[in-house]
Chains A and B, each alone.
Chain A
């Protein structure tokens, strides 16, 4: 009995609260409790969203945001994994890099925006650097801890089987710490997206972040909300894709 309730549980139950909020919002809007200029009703937002999609105006900013995110995240993941493994497997590299990492890591990355403006100008280079800086540390730290936490038996197995250091890293250490690398990548995914939007707001000429701010300033509030919906959907899709990839990449997680 309770088993059955569990099965329909999270998926459907999770829909209840957003629907309730939307209904209250719609009702409040229709009854004139809220200022329709500042807070359009959900149905108006959805209408704006459909118009956005129908006109094709959705494509360019979406491509801009996804592209920027892909480049930044795509750079941060190999850099973070590489440095994480290097620091975890080499005493020398750990000694060299640890202080630098610990100095840069705690800095709230938006604080670096003015610095980046000075050195890289207002544009793509700044935006990508910002995303990389934000996304690289969760991957790096998680990878480092993953490698350090590997069971010695695994590494000793590789040693006694005469596997070279390079091959041990590629075919034992990397796959064995993959669950932790992915955990870091999951955190980096969220942070990366936040920083993409922030970067577009501050330095973009296109993109979802740029649109949201631009529409707010030109008082096209319905369209602004429509873009926020697009952003929520984008976050959801990326997370879902990540879940699928993770399940395929580490099917043994929690089982060995």
Chain B
């Protein structure tokens, strides 16, 4: 089961302190991810993409407008909306083994179900390619493996909506491709709604059904693009598809130019 998550005329203003003026992070953004859709949000660095996701997760309130999850406004972090952080190392519990990290979301379940849940969590670890690492500690693993643990933990939390906050930007290029493929496989299997925030245009095209392109400050929605590339996607075939290259050209150009079509000065 998956849920519909929408931003309804969302604005976010950070109040300035002292002499600093108020900072408008977003102005009037309306955007919706349909159930089981993979939506990507791309924008220049510092445009506040993460702020958008944090509001979707209920970790931050919008100044105006609202976040709507299956028709209900989000005020607190809603169950089933799981956040995958860019800083995976800070998101994992260093004092817990890998399996106990994955068990964390289901620990308050009745004792009788513990054995069954543990077996399930072991299976999630196998799904992310970490079978056999159950009893290691996060700090004994590489960065890519740590993010895999975080992904397995997200699976254990039974995600209806998975929010991915530049989750692959801190790992090397090859690991990034592996993790992208992994997330796609899991998404195709579990059919959760996915919202990915990234500054990597190719990553967005490779993963998403639709891409929302954000403009410069105050950030507003420039364009929403249907990707339309066939699934299942493949790191080579998809990336070499002429439509992929055309999309990349178009989105990159949009990001580099201002609203009037001229290349923005730095």
Contact = CB atoms under 8 A, between A and B. Distances in A.
A239 interface: no
B191 to A, nearest CB: 20
Given A159-B59, A160-B57, A256-B138, A153 B95 contact: no
A178 B153 CA distance: 23
B85 interface: yes
A164 B138 CA distance: 24
B89 A256 contact: yes
Contacts of B105: 161-163
A255 interface: yes
Given A251-B137, A256-B139, A153 B85 contact: yes
Interface string A202-225: 000000000000000000000000
A contacts with B: majority SS: helix
A121 B77 CA distance: 54
A53 interface: no
B221 interface: no
B90 A151 contact: yes
B104 A252 contact: no
A157 B85 CA distance: 8
B127 interface: no
A156 B59 CA distance: 7
Nearest to A151: B90
A251 B107 CA distance: 23
Interface in B47-103: 54, 57-59, 77, 79, 81-83, 85, 87, 89-95
Nearest to A161: B105
Contacts of A67: none
B157 interface: yes
B77 A256 contact: no
Contacts of B138: 252, 256
B108 interface: yes
A160 B81 contact: yes
B83 A156 contact: yes
A172 interface: yes
A251 B97 CA distance: 12
A157 B91 contact: yes
Interface in B192-248: none
Contacts of A161: 82, 104-105, 153, 157
Contact of B94 (A156, A171, A252): A252
B59 A154 contact: no
B159 to A, nearest CB: 10
A159 B58 CA distance: 9
Contacts of A252: 94-95, 137-139
A71 B8 CA distance: 59
B93 A172 contact: yes
Q: Which of B85, B95, B105, B108 has the most CB of A within 10 A?
A: B95
Contact of A175 (B54, B81, B93, B107): B93
13 contacts: A153-B91, A156-B85, A159-B58, A160-B58, A160-B77, A162-B157, A167-B108, A171-B107, A176-B93, A251-B137, A255-B139, A256-B92, A256-B94
**Top 4 A-B residue pairs of the complex, sorted by shortest distance between their CB atoms:** A252-B94, A153-B90, A256-B139, A256-B94
Given A154-B91, A252-B139, 18 more contacts: A151-B87, A153-B90, A153-B91, A156-B57, A156-B85, A159-B59, A159-B77, A160-B58, A160-B82, A163-B105, A171-B104, A176-B93, A176-B94, A176-B95, A252-B95, A252-B138, A255-B94, A256-B138
Interface of A: 151, 153-154, 156-157, 159-164, 167, 171-172, 175-176, 178, 250-252, 255-256
Interface of B: 54, 57-59, 77, 79, 81-83, 85, 87, 89-95, 104-105, 107-108, 137-139, 153, 157
